[in-house]
Chain A
Amino acid sequence: MKFLALLLFFFTAYELVAAGSIRGRVMVETSDEPLSGANVRILGTNKGAVTDAYGEFRIGDISPGTYTVGFSMIGFQKVTTKVDVKEAEETFVEVRLKEAPLQSEQVVVTASKREQSLQDVPVSISVLDATQISYRNSVSLDEALRYVPGVNMTGPQINIRGSSGYSLGAGSRVLMLLDGIPFIAGDTGELIFEAIPAGHIDRIEVVKGASSALYGSNALGGVVNVITKPVASVPETYVRTYGGLYSKPTFDQWKWSDKKRYLHGQSAGVSRRFGDFGMSAFFSRQVDDGYRENDFRRRYNVFLKARQEFTSSSSLTLNAGFLHQFSGQFLFWRSLDSALIPPIKNQTDNLKSTRYYVSGLFNTILSDNTLITTKAMWSHNLWGFQQMGDAERTESKSDGFRAEISARVSLGDHHIVTAGVDGNLDVIGGAMFESRTIGGLALYAQDEITLSEKVSLTLGARFDLQSVGLTERSLQFNPKTAIVYNIAEGTSLRASFGRGFRVPSVAEAFIAAGGGFVRGVPNTDLKPERSTSYEVGISHQVFEQGSIDVAAFRSDYDNLIEPGLIIAEQNLNVQWRNVTSARVQGFETALKLGFFEDNLIYSLGYTYVYPEDRTKNDILKYRPRHLFYTNASVRLDWLSVGGDFRFVSRADRIDNELVETGIVPDGDERTDILVADFRLGADVSLGGVSLITTLNVKNAFQRNYVELIGNMMPPRTYLLSLEARF
C-alpha cells in the first residue's frame, strides 16, 4: 500500500510545476476551411484533443517544455510540428492538413504493438471501423468479420487466408485480442465473439499471417484485435434499437413455423469526463427467434470502461465486461429436405453461458523516449449444454489470468525497441474437461530499424514456455523479420518472414464428454503445431483517389492438429491428433477508391488460396479457394445507399465420414456462397441530436447456402435500426 502511495505521488509530482497550454486551429490546406473532428495529440504523452466545428482546439495542463504535436484525420496526411510550451502561458498553433488518398493515413496498433501508419506496416492488415459495423447492422463480431478481405467464417470459426478449417469448436489458429490483451477461452481455446458487443467496438484490426513473434500461441494464422471505443472527449449519450424479420423459406417444404420469425435488440451507452477521470458504460440486449427450429437466442452484454490520467504521462484504463446468453443449439439439419429443423433427438438441445472479465492497462512515460505499458486481465467463463433426456447441464468453467509488462524505447532516430514479458494461467473445472491448470511464460523483443529514409527493417523474436499441466512442457522460439521499402511517395514494397505456434487447447487434449453428436477421446500426446509464414506485398496510391495492395503469401505448417473422426456404431467419436504437414499459399488483392470527396466509395478484395495437405497429397478440408468481396456506398448529403457482395467458393473437401455414415444427412449438399446485402441510410441532426436510421436487406436475393455442412444460413433478412447520439 505504501508502495502504491509513493508511486501515485511520484506520478502526480509533475503537477506541482505551473502548467502551460496549447491552443490552435486546424484548416484544410486547399480551401482554408476549418477542419472539425481532427485528432490533435502531444506525442509521448496522453494529452490530446479533437477540433470543434471551427477547427479549434485547446490542450491545457501541460508541463513547460518542447513537444512534438501530431495532427491527423482520416482522409488527410498526418502532420507533426514542434511546439514550445512556456510556464503559465498559452501557445498558439495553426496547421493545414493536405487531403490524402483513402486508407494511406489510417493508424493501426496491432502490427508492432504501437501506433503506425497503415502504409508503414510490414504485414497485411485490414481495418473495419465502427461506421462500417453500424451501417451494416452487424449484430455480432463474427458477422462483422465476414466482410474483411481474406477472412471467411466456417460457422462460428474464423479462417484467415486458409489457416483454419473446422475444428468442432476446439482451438483456433487465429488469436483474438481485446484492446491488445489475448481474449480466448481457457478451456476450449475458441474465440468468444459474443462476449464483445458490436455496438461498443471502435475498430477491428485483422493481421494476416503468423504473428507469434509478438503475440505467442494461437497467432500462427493471424490476429484479430478488437479495439473498444475510448471515453468520449465530450459528454455523449447513445441509444440504439433495431428490429428485423426473416423472410419465409424459399420452399414451402422448409416452412416449419406458422409464426413470423423476428429479431430485435436495444443498446444504450453513456460516456463522461470529469477532469482527468472519464468513464463510459454500455448495455445491450439481443433477442432472436431464429429462422430455424431450436435456433433462438437471448443475449445480454454489459461493458464498463474507466480511465484516470494521473499526470500528462501516466494513465490507467480499466475495462469490465459481462455476458449472459441462453440459446438453442442447432448442430445440423435433419436433411436438405427438412433444412430448417434439427434431428428429433436434438430438438431441445440448448446452451447457457455466463462470461465476465476485468482488464487493466497502465501506461507511463518514464522519459521522452521510454513508454512502459502494463496490462492484466481476469476472465471467468461458465457454459454448458443440455441435451434431450439430460437431467443436468454438462458444464465447463474456467478462470483465465493474463498479465504483460512491456517497454518501448526510442534509441536515437533509427531504433524503436519493444520488449516485454507476459504470462498466462488458466484454471479449468467442470464435468466437461475435469480439473486442469495450465499456464505459460514468455519473453519477447523487437527492434524497428530505420536504415534510410526509404527503408526500415524489423527484427524480433519471442521465447514461450508452454504449458505446465497440458501435455508435455515445450519451449518455443519464434523469430520474425520484415522490411518495408518506400519506392516512391505513395508506393511501398514489403516482405516479411515469421514463425508461429499453437499449444493445443484443453478441449483438444482432454475432452472426455460430448457435445451434441460428438464424443471426445482424450489425447494427452498432442504436441504444439507450428507454422512458418512468408509474405511479399506492394501498396500503391491510385490516382490520388485510393490505394491498391497486392500480396503473395505462403505458410508451411508442421504437426497440424486436426480432428480425427472415429465412427463407433451410431456415434461419432473425435480425437485431435498431430496428423498433417500442410502448405497454404496464394495471393490477395485489395482496392479501395474514393470519389467526389469520398461521397462514392468503392472497395474490393480478392483472395486465392491453395491449401495443400502434404501428408495426404490432397486439399485441406473446409478451405475455400476463392474469396471475393466488394462494396460500394454513395452519400448524397443526408442520404446514403450501399451494397456488399460476397463470393466464397465451395470448399473442395469436408469430413466425408459425417456424410457417409448419415450423421449429417445430405452434408455434401453445398454450393458457392454468393450473398448480396443492401442498405439505405439517413443521417440527420435535430436540435443537437444526431439521428441515424438504416434499413438493411441482408441476403437480398435469398441465396440458400451453407458455410458449415448441414447448416443453412439465414434467408433474406430485413433490419431497421434507429440510432441517436447526443
Chain B
Amino acid sequence: MKHRFIFVIALFLVLFPSCDTGLTPLNEPSGFRGVVRFKNWPSADSVRELRIVAFESYPTDSSGIIPALLAGTAAVYPELERRLPTFVDSIEYEFTTKNGLNLQLRNYVYIILAQQYGPNVFNDWRPAGVYAARPNSFDPAPVRVLLHRIVPNIDIDVDFNNPPPRPWR
C-alpha cells in the first residue's frame, strides 16, 4: 500500500505539468499580391507556361530561373503542379509562403512574369513583364516579404510585343 501511494505521488509529479502540445503552426502566410495585366497575346505554341518569379538578386548572364531556383535564391508561383491561365486580359494573384515554391522572408529585387516560349523547360524562358518602379518602365522595383503580412499592389504589366530585356543568356 505504501509502495503504491508513493509511486502514484511520484507519477503525478511527473505527469501533471505535461498537458500542452507546445508550439503550433501559425497558418498566417507571408507574401505579396497584385494583378497581372496582359496585352498582345502571341500564338499558343509560344506560351507554353507562365510563372511569377521573384529573384533575391538581379540574375546575371550565367544564372537563369532554374539555377536560381535550385540555389534557393528565387521563388516561383504557382507551385509546379499548378498553372496560370493563359489568353485572358488579367489575373489576380496572391504569392505566399503557403502556395508558392521557396518564397521566404527576404528582399526580392527582381519580380517578373516569366514565359516559357519553347520546348526546353530549362532554357526557353524569358521575362514577359516586370514589377517596375514606374509605369511604362522596365526598371525593377524591390519587394520585401514580411512575416505574416501580404504586401498589396505588386502589379505587373505584360505586353508580349514589348517584353523587358532578358538579363540571362
Contact = CB atoms under 8 A, between A and B. Distances in A.
Given A344-B102, A632-B11, A662 B145 contact: yes
Contacts, number: 116
A666 B26 contact: yes
A600 interface: yes
Contacts of A702: 21
Contacts of B24: 250-251, 704
A343 interface: yes
Nearest to B15: A676
A657 interface: no
Interface stretch (B66-74, B78-86, B132-140, B151-159): B66-74
Given A662-B106, A662-B147, A335 B20 contact: no
A700 to B, nearest CB: 7
A632 B11 CA distance: 8
Contact of B104 (A337, A596, A636, A662): A662
Interface in B1-23: 3, 6-7, 10-11, 13-15, 17-23
A97 interface: no
A632 B10 contact: yes
A38 B69 CA distance: 66
B6 A595 contact: yes
B27 interface: yes
A607 interface: no
Contacts of A343: 72, 102, 104
B18 A700 contact: yes
B46 interface: no
Contacts of B98: 337
Contacts of A641: 7
A636 B7 CA distance: 12
Given A251-B25, A634-B7, A671-B22, A665 B14 contact: no
B18 A337 contact: no
A214 B37 CA distance: 74
Contacts of B19: 701
B147 A666 contact: yes
Given A254-B25, A336-B23, A345-B72, A630 B13 contact: yes
A665 B147 contact: yes
A159 interface: no
Interface string A590-622: 000001100010100000000000000000000
Contact of B23 (A339, A570, A675): A339
Contacts of B115: none
Interface residues of B, number: 39
Contacts of A345: 71-73
B101 to A, nearest CB: 8
Select the residue from B6, B56, B69 with max chain A CB neighbours within 10 A: B6
Nearest to B108: A570
A706 interface: yes
Interface string B80-107: 0000000000000000011001101111
Interface string A190-222: 000000000000000000000000000000000
Tell me the interface secondary structure of chain B in the complex. loop
Contact of B25 (A253, A570, A659): A253
A570 B69 CA distance: 16
Contact of A388 (B26, B71, B105): B71
Contact of A570 (B3, B27, B71, B107): B107
A702 B19 CA distance: 9
A452 to B, nearest CB: 40
Interface stretch (A27-35, A108-116, A293-301, A643-651): A643-651
B106 A335 contact: no
A202 B5 CA distance: 33
Select the residue from A335, A570, A676 with max chain B CB neighbours within 10 A: A335
Given A344-B102, A669-B26, A703 B71 contact: no
Given A634-B3, A701-B19, A704-B23, A645 B14 contact: yes
B14 A705 contact: no
Given A335-B97, A662-B104, A674 B22 contact: yes
A645 B13 contact: yes
B14 A676 contact: yes
A600 B22 CA distance: 31
Contacts of A600: 3, 6-7, 10
Interface string A242-279: 00000000110110000000000000000000000000
A343 B3 CA distance: 52
A676 to B, nearest CB: 4
Contacts of B145: 662
Contacts of B20: 674, 703
Contacts of B73: 345
Contacts of B72: 343-346, 388
Contacts of A661: 105
B76 to A, nearest CB: 11
B13 A632 contact: yes
Nearest to A643: B14
Contacts of A596: 3
Contacts of A665: 30, 97, 104-105, 147
Contact of A645 (B18, B105, B106): B18
Nearest to B13: A630
Contacts of A669: 23, 26
Contacts of B101: 344
Interface in A652-677: 659, 661-662, 665-666, 669-671, 674-676
Nearest to B69: A344
Interface string A673-702: 011101000000000000000000000111
A603 to B, nearest CB: 10
Contacts of B104: 334, 343, 662, 665
Contacts of A388: 70-72
Interface string A336-363: 1101000111100000000000000000
A388 B72 CA distance: 9
Nearest to A632: B10
Given A632-B11, A632-B13, A662-B147, A337 B97 contact: yes
Nearest to B146: A662
A665 B98 CA distance: 13
Nearest to A599: B3
Given A339-B23, A647-B17, A703-B18, 20 more contacts: A251-B24, A337-B26, A337-B97, A343-B104, A346-B72, A388-B72, A570-B56, A632-B10, A632-B14, A634-B10, A641-B7, A643-B14, A645-B17, A662-B147, A665-B30, A674-B17, A676-B14, A676-B15, A704-B23, A712-B23
A-B complex: 7 closest residue pairs judged by Cβ atoms? A345-B72, A662-B105, A632-B10, A704-B22, A704-B23, A701-B18, A344-B72
Interface of A: 250-251, 253-254, 334-337, 339, 343-346, 388-389, 569-570, 595-596, 600, 602, 630, 632, 634, 636, 641, 643-645, 647, 659, 661-662, 665-666, 669-671, 674-676, 678, 700-706, 712
26 contacts: A253-B25, A253-B27, A335-B26, A339-B25, A344-B101, A388-B70, A388-B71, A388-B72, A600-B10, A602-B10, A632-B7, A632-B13, A634-B3, A644-B14, A645-B13, A647-B17, A662-B147, A671-B22, A671-B23, A674-B17, A701-B18, A701-B19, A701-B21, A702-B21, A704-B22, A704-B24
